[in-house]
Structure 1
Amino acid sequence: MSRYISSKWKKTLALLKDNQLRAIIPTTVRFNEQNLNTMLKKYAMLYVKPENGSFGKGVIRVEKHQKHFQYQSKEKIYKFNTYNLMYDALKKMIGKRSYLIQTGIELLKHQKHAFDLRVMVQLNPKHQWETTGIIGRVAAPKKIVTNYHSGGTPKPLEPLLSPYLSKDDLRKKTVELNRIGVRTGQAMQRNFAGVCELGVDIGLDGARRPWIFEVNTSPDRYIFKKHPNKAIFRKIMSYAKSYEARTKKKKK
């Protein structure tokens, strides 16, 4: 089995060591009053998320508007006249848990709902990193996260990107995403021994530029069961069985 790394902060630091990946990682800092204030002066929208956690639980969207500040937790939006009032309420909600702040990216939309991409990356039987599947995740109405376990809808890549890209550009973008997946796997392996599979969450902005939001070291394989190309799920499960068998063999 792959080694599970829970800290989003440690995983971000690992990716930042790679010169190419560093350029597509949104600015990420630890949550505190000074960092939040500084980030909001630079960016109108941020995501505040738990350092440890999965399925999009605990993620908060923070925004600065002309006459007010606001944050959204789950489906509820809270508005404040001043930054201090918002921060106090936000800090009370977070408590003593360790959180991160990440620059917000305005994602492309499918039928008015934001979507991102889950890129599955695995060590193949030749011990090389390979991108084995890409599937879109469309956010549920009024939700700020796209996770399947938070109501997100899995969708194939083509219907999501075809309104934005020509067939040739879609092919090129798929190749680019595959390369990002492989490079992410290599970067993670250099920092965390034993990692065998990753779920890389990537969003595309209005310029179609990819951004790595998060890397999961224990990704949900079964979301790919929703993919119309059934060979993708079969390959993912086959590779998983391969490295799980190698791990058991090493333990004997």
Structure 2
Amino acid sequence: MAKTNVLMKSAELRDYIPTTKKWNRETLHTMLNEHHMVYVKPDLGTFGNGVIRVEKRSTGTYMFQLGTKRHNFTTFDSLSARLQQNIKSRPYLVQRGIHLLKHKGRRFDIRVMVQKNVRDQWESTGIIGRLGHPSKIVTNYHSGGTPMSVESLMRSHLAHWQINAYTNQLRKLGVSVAKQLQSEYPRIKEIGLDVAVDTNFKPWILEVNTLPDPFLFRRLRDKSVFRKVYRYCVHYGRFRSKRRA
């Protein structure tokens, strides 16, 4: 939530951020009535653990999914009580749900790696798609997601030249996010920007990771991407020595 609040200070970035608020019963009720689908997720978490997709159906019933299990409810009170049992006293957020683009029926999002280069300037060094497990709501590799090139995932949605233009847009967005976060966190050297693309091709900033996994980029066919990512990690001291791609 702290990182979201920093990004919200930027007029340029504000429009890319889905409504995100601290978890409580009243906030969940209001956001479900407005958006019909939200994600309830830990304020501090990794690998998509604990992320819950919550929906209000047109019939007035409710559903949430955690992992591969779906739970159905006839009233909001029964839904919120069960969610509270899962959440307990941990800090959680409620975020407007984005209906993601799909590849062969599976949802995907995009990770943009942004790093300080050898000239101490922000540079988007890698972009990779994350294809979600068919039975899960998160796209993380550690939760069964499949890393793939953005070109492969977007090929059925956009022409080749449009994909190139779109990835350039995401690179610029990544640099803007890093610069804005640096205004409050001057020591950061890298971020991993998780971007959702909706069915109108609008990018949404889902999350910013300040200790992103560089080894995800080893999954790309173009090994030069990982080599650059790793080289920059070594340069600013995250790793001591180079490792072969």
Please state which band the TM-score falls in when normalised by the shorter chain.
over 0.9
Distance 1:234 1:80, change over 3 A: same
Structure 1 residue 174, shift from structure 2 partner: 1.0
Q: Does 2:171 match 1:178?
A: yes
* Aligned residue number for residue 234 of structure 2: 241
Structure 1 residue 188, shift from structure 2 partner: 1.0
Which of 192, 217, 220 pairs up with 1:227? 220
Q: Which runs of 5+ in 2 are unaligned?
A: 241-245
Runs of 4+ in structure 1 over 3 Å off:
none
* Aligned residue number for residue 53 of structure 1: 45
Structure 1 residue 193, shift from structure 2 partner: 2.0
**Other structure's SS at 1:219 match:** coil
Which of 115, 120, 137 pairs up with 1:122? 115
* TM-score computed with the length of structure 1 as normaliser: 0.93
Structure 1 residue 21, shift from structure 2 partner: 1.1
Structure 1 residue 93, shift from structure 2 partner: 1.0
RMSD: 1.3
* Aligned residue number for residue 162 of structure 2: 169
Q: 1:194-226 deviations in whole A, cap 9, x for unaligned?
A: 100111000100001100100000000000000
* Aligned residue number for residue 5 of structure 2: 13
Q: Does 2:194 match 1:209?
A: no
Amino acid at match of 1:36: L
Amino acid at match of 2:43: E
Amino acid at match of 1:115: F
Question: 2:25 & 2:238 partners in 1: Cα distance?
Answer: 47
Amino acid at match of 2:30: T
* Aligned residue number for residue 92 of structure 2: 99
Amino acid at match of 1:132: T
* Aligned residue number for residue 243 of structure 2: none
Question: 1:138 & 1:238 partners in 2: Cα distance?
Answer: 26
Q: How does 1:145-156 map to 2 (within 5 A)?
A: 145-156=138-149
* Aligned residue number for residue 26 of structure 2: 34
Q: Does 2:136 match 1:143?
A: yes
Structure 1 residue 66, shift from structure 2 partner: 2.3
Structure 1 residue 170, shift from structure 2 partner: 1.1
Q: Which has the higher contact order (CA 8 A, sep 6+)?
A: 1
> Which deviates more, 236-245 or 92-101?
236-245
Question: 2:184 & 2:5 partners in 1: Cα distance?
Answer: 10
* TM-score computed with the length of structure 2 as normaliser: 0.95
* Aligned residue number for residue 80 of structure 2: 87
Q: Is the 8 A contact 2:132 2:139 kept in 1?
A: yes
Question: 2:122 & 2:14 partners in 1: Cα distance?
Answer: 19
Question: 1:168 & 1:138 partners in 2: Cα distance?
Answer: 22
Amino acid at match of 2:38: L
Q: Is the 8 A contact 2:233 2:239 kept in 1?
A: no
Amino acid at match of 1:79: N
Amino acid at match of 1:34: E
Question: 1:42 & 1:173 partners in 2: Cα distance?
Answer: 29
Amino acid at match of 2:90: R
Q: Which runs of 5+ in 1 are unaligned?
A: 1-8, 248-252
